[in-house]
């Protein structure tokens, strides 16, 4: 990869570096931030078989890969949220100027998993809510963690849960996750869909995302489905 190519695709460079590191290390990689957060106090029941959530937590490969293994999740797709249709492309988001965040759209069964539980998983094992415009090795507004409510109830749950975990002092630093207004979710390119499931030996996945799935299984074993969502 040329220097200019590395600059345009920093995660691909990170995957190469991470793969080299993992190959040389005998000990398995650990998730960067793992905190077993409590259930959401405000989490009203939803009388429906399907609901949708849009969440961002850094690189969408791992966010998608972890949520695919949560019981009650019907489907997950990677995409972009926050910018325009014209810039909703992988190669156009990496200067941090597009307004987009790498995000996921989750279709779930509220009778099996609540919106508050999805937030609990997001901030317990996937994303560090004290980091602004970065997660893991990825830096820039396109890697921000964010909650994007799709209705008034989701907004209430999101706002209350951020306040709850902030007041509970589960983290050493303040919570900086924004609650963003929904604009439009743009599905990412086909090669990014189910990336973690299709590429378990990828260096980036091994170093940064597989530990998140391992943390989910360790902290919340009752939430884990035996196989990924279809």
Q: What percent of the chain has pLDDT over 70?
A: 86
Is 220's pLDDT higher than 60? yes
Asked whether residue 104 is domain-assigned, the answer is: yes
Measured CA to CA, the distance from residue 128 to residue 145 in angstroms comes to 8
Catalytic residue among 37, 59, 145, 147: 59
**Angstrom distance (rounded) from CA 34 to CA 199:** 23
Structure-token pair, residue 83? 């910018």
The pTM (predicted TM-score) of the whole model is 0.88
Domain count, the chain: 1
The CATH number linked to 76 is 3.30.1060.10
Instruction: Quote the domain boundaries for residue 166.
Output: 10-221
Q: Assess if residue 2 is contained within a domain.
A: no
Q: Does residue 65 lie within any of the structural domains?
A: yes
Q: Is the pLDDT of residue 3 over 50?
A: no
Active site residue 25: no
Mean pLDDT of the chain: 89
Q: Is residue 178 part of a domain?
A: yes
Using alpha carbons, select from 89, 184, 182, 191 the residue that is nearest to residue 142: 89
Is 228 a member of any domain?
no
């Amino acid at each position: 990869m040329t220097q200019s190519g590395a600059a345009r695709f920093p995660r691909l460079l990170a995957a190469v570096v991470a793969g080299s590191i993992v190959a040389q290390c005998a000990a398995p990689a650990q998730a960067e931030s793992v905190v077993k957060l409590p259930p959401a106090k405000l989490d009203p029941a939803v009388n429906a078989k399907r609901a949708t959530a849009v969440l961002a937590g850094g690189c969408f490969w791992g966010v998608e890969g972890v949520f695919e293994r949560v019981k009650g999740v019907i489907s997950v797709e990677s995409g972009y949220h926050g910018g325009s249709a014209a810039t909703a492309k992988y190669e156009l988001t990496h200067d941090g100027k597009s307004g987009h965040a790498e995000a996921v759209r989750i279709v779930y069964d509220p009778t099996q998993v609540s919106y508050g539980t999805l937030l609990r998983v997001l901030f317990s094992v996937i994303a560090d809510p004290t980091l602004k415009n970065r997660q893991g090795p990825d830096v820039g507004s396109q890697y921000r963690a964010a909650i994007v409510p799709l209705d008034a109830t989701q907004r209430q749950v999101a706002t209350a849960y951020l306040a709850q975990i902030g007041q509970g002092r589960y983290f050493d630093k303040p919570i900086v996750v924004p609650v963003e207004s929904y604009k439009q979710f743009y599905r990412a390119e086909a090669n990014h869909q189910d990336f973690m499931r299709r590429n378990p030996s990828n260096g980036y996945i091994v170093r940064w995302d597989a530990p998140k799935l391992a943390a989910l299984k360790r902290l919340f074993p009752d939430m884990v489905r035996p196989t990924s969502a279809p």
